[in-house]
Amino acid sequence: MNFETLLFEIENGIAIITVNRPEKLNALNKDVFTDLDDAISEVLNNEQIKSALITGAGSKAFVAGADISEFGGLNLAEAMALSKRGQDIFLKIENSPKPIVAAVNGFALGGGCELAMACHFRLCSDNAKFGQPEVNLGLIPGYGGTQRLTQLVGKGKSMELQMTGSLIDATEAFRLGLVNHVTTSENLIQKTKEILLLIQTKAPLAVGKIIECVNISVISDSTFTNGKTGYEKEIEAFGECFGTEDMKEGTTAFLEKRKAVFVGR
Ligand code: COA
Taking the CA atoms of 145, 148, 153 and 155 in sequence, report the sign of the dihedral they define: positive
**What distance in Å separates the CA atoms of residue 64 and residue 106, rounded to the nearest whole number?**
9
Name which residue sits closest to atom 27 of ligand 1, judged by CA. 25
- Same CATH fold, 202-255 and 6-198? no
Distance of CA 171 to the CA centre of its chain: 20
Q: 225: burial class by Cβ within 10 Å (0-12, 13-18, 19+)?
A: middle
CATH topology of domain 6-198: 2-enoyl-CoA Hydratase; Chain A, domain 1 (3.90.226)
- Residues involved in catalysis: 114, 134
pLDDT in tens, 43-60: 999 999 999 999 999 999
User: What's the gap in Å between 108 CA and the centre of ligand 1?
Assistant: 11
Predicted structure pTM score: 0.94
Binding site membership of 182 for ligand 1 (Cβ less than 6 Å): no
Domain boundaries, the chain: 6-198, 202-255
Q: Where are the alpha helices (DSSP H) in 46-154?
A: 76-94, 111-118, 145-153
Say if ligand 1 is within 6 A of residue 234 CB.
Answer: no
Give the residue, by CA position, lying nearest to ligand 1 atom 47.
65
Correct CATH for 202-255 of 1.20.1440, 1.10.12, 3.40.50, 1.10.287: 1.10.12
Question: What confidence score (pLDDT) does residue 221 get?
Answer: 63
Q: How far is the CA of 64 from the centre of ligand 1 (A)?
A: 6
C-beta of 110 in contact with ligand 1 (< 6 A): yes
Is 103 strand, coil or helix? strand
List, for residues 200-248, the tens digit of each pLDDT value.
Answer: 999 999 999 999 999 998 876 666 667 778 778 788 888 888 889 998 9
List 109's β-bridge partners, or say none: 131
The pLDDT of residue 229 is: 80
| Residue 29 clears pLDDT 80, i.e. is over it | yes
Q: Which atom of ligand 1 lies at the shortest distance from residue 141's CA?
A: 48
- Please give the radius of gyration of the chain, using alpha carbons only, rounded to the nearest integer: 19
Q: Please report the pLDDT score of residue 223 as a whole number.
A: 64
Instruction: Give the pLDDT band (50/70/90) at residue 87.
Output: very high
Per-residue pLDDT averaged across 90-102, rounded?
Answer: 97
In angstroms, rounded to a whole number, what is the distance separating the alpha carbons of residues 19 and 194?
A: 21
The whole-angstrom separation of Cα 112 and Cα 23 is 15
